[in-house]
């Protein structure tokens, strides 16, 4: 996409995060901006950047500004540059950890986002792009942007509140993006936990059993297309409009788990709706057991491979283990002329994520080998977590 870009100035709030680092790389590698400032509380040196992202951040066009965007003074400083105002401001900053308290989300999403939006309105930026959440409703049928919202995670609830507040800001030229599950190089919370869990089941030589069924919707989008879409919306999005960003895969839990199983050459299955519904009655205990079961072999594998520190783990938060569909209609963005380069989630794209982690030394390479043995030298004969549920509550 060739825009007037080389002269454009861009402020990326939360720019050392997963999408932000890929956005910096995209803008630099395609020569789309003449000046890029990244504002984040996490400096690049501590953000687990891969070599490609480190190179992008080292470009002289990129300036990092350490910022606590919950603080209005810090926000003002992030926006202030001797070279002039920024043309485009893209807000990727937010509390992204699941399972936090309401107070944490109020500060890390609501307060932070409104601080940034008000500053952008005051400075009359050409376009303010708020990256929201695709978790605005649960349906097996694709949800359009104008559908009624009933957010099903705490993060999405606070993102929805931000969306409502932006609609009241008459002086702000804004667009809202709602991405599906984002995956790609640097991902730690999208599909990567599933990749780590698959590796755990390869290690323990058990069948990977998941809650619910293969039909649970888990719509996806590659981070490369997210970055392209965000830049596209800076120039072609309609003021005050919301756009879903989602590929054409129609991804389900079944599709994702099938790809993971192919990577590790493991078998997978599902507990089913009946047993999962019973488990839901004591979900906090069930989730604790699931995560405990996965964490021990993961830690053992990391130790065996000499990995002392890694940001990766198989933990999945309770909010993401309910029978909630993430299913989005992406036609509105396509109608603006946007074309996806990665229209479907493919096994090679997931292997690309793993290869990146392997090169960084943060993923046990032995988990991708053909010889997987337990710590005592023998394959575990125990059953997977799903079998434990079936034994306790019946065959469903």
Q: What is the pLDDT of residues 353-387, one digit of tens each?
A: 999 999 999 999 988 864 333 333 333 334 455 55
Q: What is the pLDDT of residues 3-26, one digit of tens each?
A: 445 689 999 999 999 999 999 999
Instruction: Flag whether pLDDT at 185 surpasses 50.
Output: yes
pLDDT at 395 (0 to 100) = 42
Higher-confidence residue of 96 and 123: namely 123
Of 285, 300, 334, the residue at which a domain comes to its end is 334
Q: What is the pLDDT of residues 153-182, one digit of tens each?
A: 999 999 999 999 999 999 999 999 999 999
**Cα–Cα nearest to 108, from 90, 121, 92:** 92
pLDDT at 2 (0 to 100) = 41
Residues 318 and 226 both lie in one domain: no
Residues 206 and 268 both lie in one domain: yes
Residues 106 and 201 both lie in one domain: no
Residues 178 and 267 both lie in one domain: no
Within-domain flag for 355:
yes
pLDDT at 6 (0 to 100) = 67
What total of structural domains would you count in the chain? 2
Within-domain flag for 74:
yes
Residues 262 and 202 both lie in one domain: yes
pLDDT at 380 (0 to 100) = 38
Distance, in Å, from the CA atom of 23 to the CA atom of 27, rounded to the nearest integer, reads 6
Q: What is the CATH number of the domain that holds 120?
A: 3.40.50.720
Residues 258 and 384 both lie in one domain: yes
Instruction: Flag whether pLDDT at 389 surpasses 60.
Output: no
Mean pLDDT of 239-253: 97
Between 30-44, 59-73, 204-218, 347-361, the lowest mean confidence (pLDDT) is in 204-218
Of 334, 359, 379, the residue at which a domain comes to its end is 334
What's the whole-model pTM score?
Answer: 0.91
Within-domain flag for 276:
yes
Instruction: Flag whether pLDDT at 279 surpasses 80.
Output: no
Within-domain flag for 341:
no
Mean pLDDT of 255-280: 89
Residues 96 and 36 both lie in one domain: yes
Within-domain flag for 318:
yes
Mean pLDDT of 318-342: 94
Residues 41 and 104 both lie in one domain: yes
**Cα–Cα nearest to 343, from 247, 259, 256, 230:** 247
Residues 234 and 138 both lie in one domain: yes
Residues 240 and 299 both lie in one domain: no
Between 107-116, 173-182, 318-327, the lowest mean confidence (pLDDT) is in 318-327
Residues 111 and 203 both lie in one domain: no
Of 314, 334, 354, the residue at which a domain comes to its end is 334
CA distances from 28 to 24, 36, 125, 313, 346 (A): 6, 9, 21, 30, 26
- Indicate left, alpha or beta for 345 from its phi (over 0: left) and psi (-120 to 50: alpha): beta
Share of the chain above pLDDT 90, in %: 80
Residues 73 and 86 both lie in one domain: yes
Within-domain flag for 95:
yes
Within-domain flag for 111:
yes
Contact predicate 20/92, CB 8 Å:
yes
pLDDT at 387 (0 to 100) = 57
**What domain range is 229 assigned to?**
5-186+220-248+327-334
**Cα–Cα nearest to 211, from 287, 142, 135, 120:** 287
Within-domain flag for 58:
yes
pLDDT, averaged across the chain: 90
Strand partners, 328: 143
């Amino acid at each position: 996409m060739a825009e007037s870009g080389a002269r454009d100035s861009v402020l990326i709030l939360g720019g050392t995060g997963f999408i932000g680092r890929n956005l910096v790389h995209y803008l630099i590698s395609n020569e789309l901006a003449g000046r890029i400032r990244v504002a984040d509380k996490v400096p690049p040196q501590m953000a687990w950047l891969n070599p490609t992202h480190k190179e992008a951040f080292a470009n002289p066009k990129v300036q990092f500004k350490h910022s606590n965007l919950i603080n209005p003074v810090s926000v003002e400083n992030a926006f202030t540059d001797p070279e002039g105002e920024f043309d485009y401001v893209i807000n990727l900053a937010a509390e992204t950890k699941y399972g936090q308290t309401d107070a944490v989300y109020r500060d890390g999403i609501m307060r932070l986002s409104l601080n940034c939006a008000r500053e952008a309105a005051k400075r009359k930026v050409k376009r303010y792009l708020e990256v929201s959440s695709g978790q605005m409703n649960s349906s097996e049928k694709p949800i359009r942007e104008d559908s009624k919202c009933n957010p099903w995670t705490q993060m999405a609830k606070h993102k929805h509140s931000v969306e409502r507040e932006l609609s009241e800001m008459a002086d702000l030229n804004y667009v809202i993006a709602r991405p599906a599950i984002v995956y790609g190089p640097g991902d730690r919370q999208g599909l990567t936990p599933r990749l780590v869990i698959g590796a755990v089941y390869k290690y323990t030589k058990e069948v990977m059993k998941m809650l619910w069924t293969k039909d649970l919707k888990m719509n996806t989008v590659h981070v490369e297309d997210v970055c392209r879409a965000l830049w596209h919306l800076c120039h072609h999005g309609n003021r005050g409009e919301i756009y879903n960003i989602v590929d054409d895969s129609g991804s389900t839990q079944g599709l994702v788990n099938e790809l993971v199983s192919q990577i590790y050459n493991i078998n997978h299955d599902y507990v089913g709706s009946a047993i999962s519904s019973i488990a839901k009655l004591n979900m906090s205990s069930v989730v604790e057991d699931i995560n405990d079961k996965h964490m021990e072999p993961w830690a053992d594998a990391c130790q065996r491979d000499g990995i002392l520190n890694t940001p990766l783990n198989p933990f999945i938060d309770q909010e993401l283990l309910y029978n909630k569909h993430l299913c989005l209609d992406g036609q509105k963005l396509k109608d603006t002329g946007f074309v996806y380069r990665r229209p479907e989630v493919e096994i090679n794209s997931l292997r690309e994520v793993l290869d990146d982690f392997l090169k960084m030394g943060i993923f046990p390479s032995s988990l991708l080998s053909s010889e997987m043995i337990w710590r005592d030298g023998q394959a575990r004969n125990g059953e997977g977590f799903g079998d434990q549920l079936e034994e306790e509550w019946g065959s469903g």
